[in-house]
Amino acid sequence: MFALIDCNNFYASCQRVFRPDLNGKPIVVLSNNDGCVIARSNEAKELGIPMGAIAHQFEKIFEEKNVHVFSANFALYGDMSQRVMEILSEYSPEMEIYSIDEAFLKLDGYENIDLQKMGEEMQKKVTKGTGIPISVGIAPTKALAKVANRIAKKYPQKTKSVYIIDSEKARIKALKWLKVEDIWGIGRQIAKKLQSIEIKNAYEFSELNDNWVGKNLSVVELRLKHDLQGIPTLDLEEAQPKKNIATTRSFETNYTELKQLEERISTFAVICAEKLRKQKSCCNSLMVFIISNRFRKDLPQYSRNIVIKLPYPVNSSIELSKFAILALSKIFKPGYFYKKAGVIVQDFTDENISQLTIFEKSDERHAPLMAAIDKINATFGQQKIKIATQDTKRVWKMKQEKLSPNYTTKLSDIITINL
């Protein structure tokens, strides 16, 4: 059996943990730079606020409907997610953290356990320990656990937020309830294709001929179909390292000088290098791009990118910054007003396995230096120690006008209790 645990309205719930006065009130959370809506409470959904709504276009509605608006506080959300996952890990040694607010548990050996009671206990423990409400779906396969979770979330009073698919009758009933476009892993285009042949729900999809699915869709959908039939096909997945890492930003003002862009590109390269070291990878190539201000039609326009092959695998901030600035010098043109730039690192290899070259190799002194810098920055704050090509006085800040305190990760923001 598999269990899928999903945090209900996770971002909004994180805000409510420390602001109980917001319970029952509409909440929306905005994307980076407060651009658009990326999360909504149920109350906000009922007001008709769509996902992806442009924030400034809905300001009047937010005010009229008394919607509480928050900037994305990823430090808070990440810490609360970790707390939830730590509690869930107590229930099974086999766990897949599927997203920041979802996790699969493999329940092998639980044949004689009352799963309904265990699910309710799990829910109470997470809510008591973190304040985050969860829904639990339990079924013989991952895809069916997803369906069960959806039912638990849709009917919390009837199911006590825990739903179990443990029989053929329950499986068929659940799949007939689920629309084809709501099946986990079925995208919009595939849903349209299935609807065109009169497939309206998950049960009808699960009854399709294997040959037809393999020929007209793909092996991915075929595996999903088998999983929905109750045949365990999709197992827990281990977290995979990223295949490329990008750091890109739009500037607060137009840049015209090479030195200005060099500082930004250097900082972006350093951030990429930190992420590489975190997943114990090195990159063998990188891309640098620059874009002028396309919204200024009165100004000349220019955009360019370049990919360079590195002479050896790199995850040192110093070396990656050097190569990124070299790449920038090849594409920079004076006379333009630059508004955006970025660094993308790719072609990864394990940091412990590298192909040696005759003439060039990474400076072996950098590894212990980077380890020390990473440790200091982790302890005292991001980018406390910088390399010389960065602006030591500059701290990159997103537009976050409605940012809540970092209640759990910053001592100065710790919650105050009035007795």
Identify the CATH number of the domain in which residue 104 sits.
3.30.70.270
Which pTM value belongs to this model?
Answer: 0.72
Residue 86: inside a domain: yes
In a domain, 3, yes or no: no
Q: Within a domain: residue 181?
A: yes
Is residue 385 assigned to a domain?
A: no
DSSP-based three-state secondary structure for 128: helix
Rounded to an integer, what distance in angstroms lies between the CA atom of residue 37 and that of residue 53?
Answer: 5
- Beta pairing, strands 134-139 & 162-164: parallel
Which residue range forms the structural domain that includes residue 55? 8-76
Rounded (5°) CA angle 106-108-111: 125
**Does one domain contain both 326 and 344?**
yes
Boundary-marking domain end, from 24, 41, 76? 76
Q: How many domains does the chain have?
A: 3
* DSSP, residue by residue, 64-91: HTT-EEEE--HHHHHHHHHHHHHHHGGG
pLDDT of residue 407: 84
Task: Give the model's pLDDT for residue 363.
Answer: 80
Is 311 within a domain? yes
Which residue's structure tokens are 């007795």?
419
**pLDDT lower than 70: segments of the chain:** 238-240, 354-359, 381-382, 392-399
Instruction: Name the domain boundary from 200, 228, 256.
Output: 228
Model pLDDT, residue 354: 62
My answer on whether 275 and 354 are in the same domain is yes
